[in-house]
């Protein structure tokens, strides 16, 4: 914490170079400063290669299975056929 307090710009330069810095207090880790990961989706949207999700889009209706045996019943039947 002392180095971060006295040399914030230097610590951030280390992080900007791609390294992770662990901040400790009395020898115990209290925080981790990590480089920002690129936002690939935002980059694709900005480049025009992708469209952002439309929160008002209609979702497909839930599929209701047809009447018939359940998965459990099918498995029990298959297990009963074993020697």
Q: Is 18 part of any domain?
A: yes
pTM above 0.75, yes or no: no
> Rounded distance, CA 81 to CA 47, Å?
58
State pLDDT tens for residues 14-51.
999 999 999 999 999 999 999 998 899 989 999 999 99
Q: Is 34 part of any domain?
A: yes
- Would you state the pLDDT for residue 71? 87
Give the number of domains in the chain: 1
State pLDDT tens for residues 57-70.
888 888 887 888 88
Percent helix, strand and coil across the chain, each to the nearest 5: 40, 15, 50
Inter-CA distances, 44 with 35, 47, 48, 49, 50, Å: 20, 5, 6, 5, 5
* Domain membership of residue 7 as a residue range: 1-43
Q: Is 71 part of any domain?
A: no
Q: Is 8 part of any domain?
A: yes
- Would you state the pLDDT for residue 9? 94
Domain CATH code at residue 35: 3.40.1620
Question: Taking a C-beta distance cutoff of 8 angstroms, is the pair 45, 52 a contact?
Answer: yes
Q: Is 15 part of any domain?
A: yes
| The length of the chain, given as a count of residues | 83
């Amino acid at each position: 914490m002392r180095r971060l307090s006295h040399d914030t710009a230097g610590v951030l330069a280390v992080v900007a170079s791609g390294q992770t810095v662990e901040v400790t207090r009395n020898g115990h880790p209290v925080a981790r400063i990590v480089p920002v990961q690129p936002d690939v989706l935002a980059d694709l949207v900005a480049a025009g290669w992708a469209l952002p999700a439309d929160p008002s889009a209609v979702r497909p209706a839930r599929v209701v299975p047809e009447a018939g045996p359940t998965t459990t019943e099918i498995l029990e039947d298959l297990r009963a056929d074993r020697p």
